[in-house]
Structure 1
Amino acid sequence: TVQGVQGINPRGVAEADVVALHMEGGQACVQVFFIRANQNWGNRDFYPRTGSGAEEAEVLEAFLGQFYDEKDPPRQILLSHPIENADLMAEALGEKRGRKVELVVPLRGEKAELVSFAARNARESLARKMSEAATQSRLLDGLAEAFALDAPPERIEVYDNSHIQGTNAVGGMIVAGREGFLKSQYRKFNIKGDSLTPGDDFGMMKEVLSRRFKRLLKEDPDRESDAWPDLLLIDGGAGQVSAVAEILADLGVDDVPFIGVAKGVDRDAGKEEFHRPGKRPFALKRNDPVLYFVQRLRDEAHRFAIGTHRAKRAKAIGATPLDDVPGVGATRKRALLAHFGSAKAVSRADLADLKAVDGISDTLAETIYDYFHEKG
């Protein structure tokens, strides 16, 4: 949110919502300020969909109808644009609230200043969103060019496996597209294969991809929905890539491109190597924005898989994750709990705080810290 929002505490407006709309390039942003007891109680951005050729009055009216469908309106709503059925809207909102609600498009004074401030915020928020979308679009174009894809991908799926000594193995899938990361589409896969040996990445990948694509083939065999990926990014090199090729071929999926992202020589983060079936591995230039984009995708997949794995392991361990930390017996566990108050607080403690606990050596403090902050 734009700076200075908290400083707006209107003297002459006791209770109102300030609703300002900005439209540009067929997109809209509505900024709502909540004023209660002469104080600004914060603000929120909304991005309503606009029909083609929709005017401000229409977009704002539709927004108000939806916005107050689930919440009680204040006594006054200050608007940036007049709406067509203002009387009807005021009446409907008044009935909902059980007392009069006023809709006003202020032209001067403090109320007009509040509206113009909210409108400026809406304009800046929309500009930021549009520039992020343009950047994302350029990155997807760059990805298509770098990896010789037929078209910029609309849906990228990135897979990562996380397991510590093979226990509670979890596969994670994140999704990205034109809107950035699509978190509602993320999926975790609890690895069921009892025959898998700890650290069997191929086995895990096979199980995850088989489950994912069998489900897609069952739910959308004609590929009509946007649930089908245009590109898969896999953690690993030539070995993983040939395994994935085999898995997809077995399922009869032969037109989803996939790329293995491997750490390069010396596992240097800037030197990722990209592997494609039947082609030589290649690297992108160190400062290539597409390289940063792929790194971000991979980091997000890793973060998601690790987080999911940790949650699963904590659940398996039960109420006191301390039980499973090597070297922490009953006495030390009591000392840690007495010092920090809970196992959760121990898991979040930094190294210096752990070293400060009576009876915990520096080496053990490091073991405890590493246990809760391992990188997977």
Structure 2
Amino acid sequence: MPEPAASAEPPALQGAELIRAEAARLPNAPGVYRMLDAEGQLLYVGKAKSLKKRVASYAKVLGLQPRIARMVRETSALEIAVTASEVEALLLEANLIKRLKPRYNVSFRDDKSFPYILIAGDHDWPRITKYRGPRDRKGEYFGPFASAGAVNRTLVALQRAFPLRSCSDGEFAVRTRPCLQYQIKRCSAPCVGRVTHEAYGAVVDEVRAFLHGDSERVHGGLTAKMQAAAEALDYETAAVMRDRIKALAHIRARQDINVEGIPEADVIAAYAQGGQVCVQVFFFRGGQNLGNRAYFPTQARDVALSEVLGAFIGQFYEARPAPAEVLISEEIESVDLVGEALAVGAGHKVRVHAPQRGPRRVLVDHALANAREALERRLAENATQRKVLDGVAEVFGLEAPPERIEVYDNSHVQGSAPIGAMIVAGPEGFVKAAYRKFNIRDTSIAPGDDYAMMREVLTRRFARLLKEEEEGEPVWPDLVLIDGGPGQLKVAEEVIAELAIEGVALASIAKGPDRNAGREHFYLPGRQPFMLEPRHPVLYFMQRLRDEAHRFAIGTHRARRAKSITRSVLDEIAGIGAKRKRALLLHFGSAAAVSRASIADLKQVEGIDEGVAKAIHDHFREK
């Protein structure tokens, strides 16, 4: 009988021994290290001034935080990347964490770009507009704003004070008379010559000065013009100046905190409670408060706030430039190094510091109070949501409260532009980053055939999950809710059976005979349809899910339909993108004029060479 094998070494020691052995071979140089588990999945990313010393510190298991100790236990491999400097290592670390989202790093979901106000510089008559995306269009950018709503409100207020055009270049090129914006005094109608270049340029300079924070000079200039017009008995001009001054005062009055003497800064504050952390960011530009946004990091339990702030700053500014000042609520490690790294991406000096007194501390305290309020609201909402999910499990016979609910709905108008939509909800509410839309591809589906549309949507969705299961770890829903009756539920059952999927609960929700809210019928496989009491919390929750899916489906359908309506014949030509399309419309005035142009005329347009001109000419001649 063979002797029993010696007991295996504890996993934590196995990971620690591997790290100790690897550290002995590492260089004493700056760089980034990556910890991987036995399956090659990324566990953790870190940066170091000395790779040898920093990695070796993980071998001392007893002195590690519980989160890092778990990471060490799971570590089976180590990868490194040597960098030229510690700043370069810091930038690479932030890039990898944001892109790969390692399991044990403090990370933030930041899947949206911030909107800006753009004064376009690629037209003789500059346009003021909202802009989101890469800042590669010629012009001046002001922001970032915390939300599209903040930009829209500011633009409306600016147009009252500064009558610049907001129409597209294509609309501008073809106008023959002033639009409504001119009638309500929010545009000076440069499209039809109602204002001179000099006068229009002066207004552009006023907007630029105001957005840069020089509002006092702009206000003084408008006041002087109003007084001069009144003395000259030009009361109409004086009234216009008076209205612009009032609109300007309205913008300035919207500031809810005094930021005098701080022209450009981001204020970042972190607050912890109940094992969760909220990081609140306020944006101040040109002496104005451009709004704020709250972030809730993952893996932040039992992590010092200074470490959370350090991780946030690295990831937040990884793909966006930092302002001249970044005010923070806690001192962070290697603050000068962080400022140096941010300066690399921003192209100017960046000071990162935690003020202790004065007006800057007032801003930090204001952000900290907002972080506390946001986290308290979130904790209260999560507690309520957990109770509701317990009720969902009871009503629908689930083994445990669902962590992920997927809701499906279709939308079309008499069969045109059909789409399917999926929304996702869980313990923290709606997960909008996980929403998906499905353009119906099967052209054989009869217009308005909701059953066939739902079959295509569900088949594509769950076939993709099966494929992702082969490649990694997909996130499966615990409950699938269909907006519809027994027919839609039967389609879902058939799809699940055909794909041999198990463990996914199905249900459908249908409005009552009079389509009144509160009389919804629920359908489950193998059960009789039932209704819930009118004030049942689960009924309210199901209505919210259904209504959100309906809203998302309708919005997606309208966007698709609007895109098809506004699609230009120029979009059909290979090689004609947005930039060339804009140049052609500006030069010729309309797509019809482009279709009649000769090759020689087309070549006169910027960005159109002989090959592209011939392609455009031949396209219209063939049609």
Same fold (TM over 0.5): yes
**Cα shift readout 1:222-254 (whole Å, capped 9, x = no counterpart):** 99421x221111122233323332332222224
> CA, structure 1 residues 214+37, in 2 after alignment: closer, same or farther (shift >3 Å)?
closer
Q: Does 1:260 align with 2:508?
A: yes
Paired with 1:33 and 1:223, the residues of 2 have a C-alpha distance of 37
**Cα shift readout 1:165-188 (whole Å, capped 9, x = no counterpart):** 223322222222223222232222
Pick from 397, 413, 434: which aligns with 1:185? 434
> CA, structure 1 residues 222+252, in 2 after alignment: closer, same or farther (shift >3 Å)?
farther
Q: Does 1:209 align with 2:495?
A: no
> CA, structure 1 residues 207+71, in 2 after alignment: closer, same or farther (shift >3 Å)?
closer
Paired with 1:213 and 1:95, the residues of 2 have a C-alpha distance of 44
Find the counterpart in structure 1 of residue 482 from structure 2: 234
Identify the range of structure 1 (57-66 vs 30-39) with the bigger mean alpha-carbon deviation. Answer: 30-39
Identify the range of structure 1 (296-305 vs 30-39) with the bigger mean alpha-carbon deviation. Answer: 30-39
Q: Contact between 2:468 and 2:474, CA under 8 Å: does it hold in 1?
A: no
Pick from 559, 575, 578: which aligns with 1:311? 559
- Offset, 1:315: 4.1
- The one-letter code of the counterpart of 2:453 is M
Find the counterpart in structure 1 of residue 541 from structure 2: 293
**Secondary structure at 1:19's aligned position in 2?**
strand
Paired with 2:541 and 2:291, the residues of 1 have a C-alpha distance of 33
Give structure 1 stretches of 5+ with no counterpart: 321-376
The size of the alignment, in residue pairs, is: 317
Paired with 1:310 and 1:16, the residues of 2 have a C-alpha distance of 39
> CA, structure 1 residues 26+174, in 2 after alignment: closer, same or farther (shift >3 Å)?
same
- The one-letter code of the counterpart of 1:152 is P
| RMSD of equivalent CA atoms | 2.9
Matches within 5 A, 1:157-172: 157-172=406-421
Q: Does 1:19 align with 2:288?
A: no
- Offset, 1:95: 5.8
Q: Contact between 1:73 and 1:93, CA under 8 Å: does it hold in 2?
A: yes
Paired with 1:254 and 1:103, the residues of 2 have a C-alpha distance of 52
Q: Does 1:33 align with 2:282?
A: yes
Find the counterpart in structure 2 of residue 370 from structure 1: none
Paired with 2:317 and 2:541, the residues of 1 have a C-alpha distance of 39
- Offset, 1:270: 1.0
Q: Does 1:119 align with 2:375?
A: no
- Offset, 1:302: 1.6
- Offset, 1:93: 4.1
Paired with 2:499 and 2:372, the residues of 1 have a C-alpha distance of 49
**Cα shift readout 1:316-346 (whole Å, capped 9, x = no counterpart):** 44559xxxxxxxxxxxxxxxxxxxxxxxxxx
Pick from 151, 162, 166: which aligns with 2:400? 151
Q: Contact between 2:326 and 2:351, CA under 8 Å: does it hold in 1?
A: yes
- The one-letter code of the counterpart of 1:145 is E
Q: Contact between 1:237 and 1:260, CA under 8 Å: does it hold in 2?
A: yes
**Secondary structure at 2:514's aligned position in 1?**
helix
Find the counterpart in structure 1 of residue 525 from structure 2: 277
- The one-letter code of the counterpart of 1:240 is Q
Identify the range of structure 1 (308-317 vs 124-133) with the bigger mean alpha-carbon deviation. Answer: 308-317
> CA, structure 1 residues 258+105, in 2 after alignment: closer, same or farther (shift >3 Å)?
same
Paired with 1:65 and 1:220, the residues of 2 have a C-alpha distance of 32
Paired with 1:274 and 1:267, the residues of 2 have a C-alpha distance of 14
Paired with 1:216 and 1:36, the residues of 2 have a C-alpha distance of 44
Paired with 1:6 and 1:27, the residues of 2 have a C-alpha distance of 30
- Structure exhibiting the larger radius of gyration computed from Cα positions: 2
- The one-letter code of the counterpart of 1:181 is F
Find the counterpart in structure 1 of residue 227 from structure 2: none
- Offset, 1:259: 0.7
Paired with 1:212 and 1:133, the residues of 2 have a C-alpha distance of 28
Give structure 2 stretches of 5+ with no counterpart: 1-145, 147-252, 569-623
Identity over aligned pairs, percent: 55
Q: Does 1:6 align with 2:255?
A: yes
Q: Does 1:45 align with 2:294?
A: yes
**Cα shift readout 1:120-173 (whole Å, capped 9, x = no counterpart):** 111111112222222222222211111111111122111112232223322222
Identify the range of structure 1 (38-47 vs 296-305) with the bigger mean alpha-carbon deviation. Answer: 38-47
Find the counterpart in structure 1 of residue 499 from structure 2: 251
- The one-letter code of the counterpart of 1:249 is A
Q: Contact between 1:28 and 1:50, CA under 8 Å: does it hold in 2?
A: no
- The one-letter code of the counterpart of 2:537 is P
Paired with 2:313 and 2:451, the residues of 1 have a C-alpha distance of 52
Paired with 2:483 and 2:405, the residues of 1 have a C-alpha distance of 14
Identify the range of structure 1 (72-81 vs 129-138) with the bigger mean alpha-carbon deviation. Answer: 72-81
Pick from 141, 152, 155: which aligns with 2:390? 141
> CA, structure 1 residues 194+145, in 2 after alignment: closer, same or farther (shift >3 Å)?
same
> CA, structure 1 residues 84+265, in 2 after alignment: closer, same or farther (shift >3 Å)?
same
Structure number with higher relative contact order (C-alpha < 8 Å, ≥ 6 residues apart): 1
Paired with 2:325 and 2:564, the residues of 1 have a C-alpha distance of 52
Q: Contact between 1:157 and 1:173, CA under 8 Å: does it hold in 2?
A: yes
Paired with 2:256 and 2:382, the residues of 1 have a C-alpha distance of 31
